[in-house]
Structure 1
Amino acid sequence: MVSTNFANYSPLYKQQCQNVKLIESAYDSIEKKVKEAIKTEDKNEEVVFTRLLSNITVIWMEASILKICYDNNYFTEEDILKIRESQSLEQRITSLINMAVCKRHNIPFTRKQLDTELKYTERARYKGLIQLIQEDFTESINIRNKIAHGQWKFAYSNGSNALDEIVTAKINSENIVGIQLKRNLFKNLMELIQHIAVDFDKYDSTFDVMYEKIEGYKHNKEGRNYKEYKNKLIESYKRGMVRKKESLSRSAV
């Protein structure tokens, strides 16, 4: 973020910072609950708190979008209302990117994508951001929407009373490892978008490094093994319990 005296920011930005901070605290608390459930091999609790962790991750994204809107008074009130009036969260984040890019390049704002309006390098970067939203963020939104509507075990098709087997499988395959990687991906994505709005020089100089990080998280999502992570937590917990019992036994002598 640009080095600016926090006191100079608008009340709305300061308020939204508090919203984001509270959500981040909630994420940390829920993540601890998931780990505790894994260690104690409480499968039901793990499922419950994993659903909540998945939900809070997308909630954080939604709150972060509004935080960027209020940051540094870059967007006018009319701009922000246009972004907030988008019908879906996916459209909201796309509108945020479009508006920020339009402002930076003095292009009249449009809700449509900017494929034909930008020079090659900027167009390639823009397409990369939009692709991330379409490939990674949209899926998380769909899962969050099902969870938010009480479809925690079985998800149903929109517009028909039928089981959506694809989304059901995705919901039930969610785990802490995948969610952690997605959260890191989203954090880097939001930082890039923030740089467009408030520090374009930094966006220009750090884009390649940050985008490589995001691609790394995407690759790790496929390669990082949840079962190994789970087994390590369980084994570590068991060893800790053994040491605790041994310590108590020695104290009792």
Structure 2
Amino acid sequence: MEVGFMLKRIFSILKKEEDFKIPELPESPPELSDEEKLEKHIKKLSGQFSLNLELVNKSLPHIKQSLQNAIASSSKDEEVTYTRLYTLLLGVWIECRLHKLIYEKGAFDESERKLIYTEKSIENRWYRALEVAFKKYRKISLDDELTNQNLGFTHFTIFNEMKNWIGEYIAPVATLRNKVAHGQWKFPFSNDTGNWLDSYNFKVNQDLISLYAKENYLTIECKFELVKLISVAINNMAVDAGKYETADFDGIQIKIQAKVDDLKSIDKAKYSNYKSHAQEGFKKKAASLKAKEQALIDKAKKEAREEIEKSFILTPR
């Protein structure tokens, strides 16, 4: 009886053979081609370089504000400290911006990146990125040298001008960044790495001291804007070469030249005037805060005295 019951139980659970279906396994995703793998990796790199630049950008306002406060409050040592830190961040930002530029969507391909990254120094990589962008813009082979003939007089002149700007304004920033990063905030040395013979190798580099003396809040701010404009020009030529007109390029070149002129106009006298104005404003603000503080103290004293007089029924003298 029990066996029969169990058999019926089993048969009630089992279904007909045709009702059973082998579950379909999910299809494996198709293997990516080498080109697709590279594109995926480049997209990832682009996001990473963009995030690096974003984080550097977030640090800039804090150092900038600290430097402004040091200048306004006449704190000479703090002014030197934050000027060096701002110089360091400018150098860091210039390198981050170059990486992002090289990996902008549609800007450069792998062969062009190889030409740029083969260069060892930051300034030479900027040179190469500029050169490649002009070649893309005018559809010139990467193997050909840029000349007055293949680039045209106007663009060849502008190319050389921008190249000079990189050498004059970007290259020194990279040099100072290295010195600041190595702790040479007051006295930069010529022979501080490699080929060490003896202690006489350590010699103060007077040219770098002159560069330090010329670097201040106004020049650093101007260089940030200058490099941004140069980056936009290179990016537009590399990405939008097909629709980027000479007039468009002339417009941004005019902006760059204006910023260069601003930078050249920043001399010792101009910076001294800026400092004097900032310090005068700081003094006025401090005096105003002191006056408000004193007014609050006087008000509190008066109210306290009135309360005492009411409590003890005192008559003021």
TM above 0.5, yes or no, is yes
User: For residues 203 and 150 of structure 1, do their structure 2 counterparts lie closer, same or farther at Cα, with a shift above 3 Å needed?
Assistant: farther
Task: Mark the structure with the bigger radius of gyration.
Answer: 2
Do the aligned residues in 1 keep the contact of 2:136 with 2:237 (CA within 8 Å)? Answer: no
- 1:229 matched residue in structure 2: 274
Do the aligned residues in 1 keep the contact of 2:226 with 2:260 (CA within 8 Å)? Answer: yes
- 2:202 matched residue in structure 1: 161
Whether 2:78 is the aligned partner of 1:45: answer yes
In the alignment, the residues of structure 2 paired with residue 100 and residue 220 of structure 1 have an alpha-carbon distance, to the nearest angstrom, of 26
| Partner deviation per Cα, 1:30-52 (whole Å, 9 max, x = no partner) | 11110111122111111011011
1:49-64 alignment runs, 5 A limit: 49-64=82-97
Do the aligned residues in 1 keep the contact of 2:88 with 2:177 (CA within 8 Å)? Answer: yes
**CA-atom RMSD, angstroms?**
2.2
In the alignment, the residues of structure 1 paired with residue 238 and residue 137 of structure 2 have an alpha-carbon distance, to the nearest angstrom, of 8
Do the aligned residues in 2 keep the contact of 1:195 with 1:203 (CA within 8 Å)? Answer: no
Q: Which moved more, 1:202-211 or 1:174-183?
A: 202-211
Whether 2:66 is the aligned partner of 1:33: answer yes
Do the aligned residues in 2 keep the contact of 1:196 with 1:203 (CA within 8 Å)? Answer: no
- 1:6 matched residue in structure 2: none
Opposite residue 128 of structure 1, the aligned amino acid is: E
1:163-242 alignment runs, 5 A limit: 163-200=204-241, 201-202=243-244, 204-224=246-266, 225-242=270-287
Runs (5+) with no aligned partner, structure 1: 1-8
Q: TM-score, normalised by structure 1?
A: 0.87
User: Which structure is higher in RCO with an 8 Å CA cutoff and minimum separation 6?
Assistant: 1
- 2:124 matched residue in structure 1: 91
Opposite residue 237 of structure 2, the aligned amino acid is: I
- 1:15 matched residue in structure 2: 48
| Partner deviation per Cα, 1:190-222 (whole Å, 9 max, x = no partner) | 111111111233463332232222222222224
| Partner deviation per Cα, 1:139-161 (whole Å, 9 max, x = no partner) | 22222222222221112224753
User: For residues 106 and 212 of structure 1, do their structure 2 counterparts lie closer, same or farther at Cα, with a shift above 3 Å needed?
Assistant: closer
Shift of 1:230: 0.9
How many residues are matched? 244
Identity %: 26
In the alignment, the residues of structure 2 paired with residue 94 and residue 146 of structure 1 have an alpha-carbon distance, to the nearest angstrom, of 22
Runs (5+) with no aligned partner, structure 2: 1-41, 196-200, 300-317
Q: TM-score, normalised by structure 2?
A: 0.71
Do the aligned residues in 2 keep the contact of 1:101 with 1:196 (CA within 8 Å)? Answer: yes
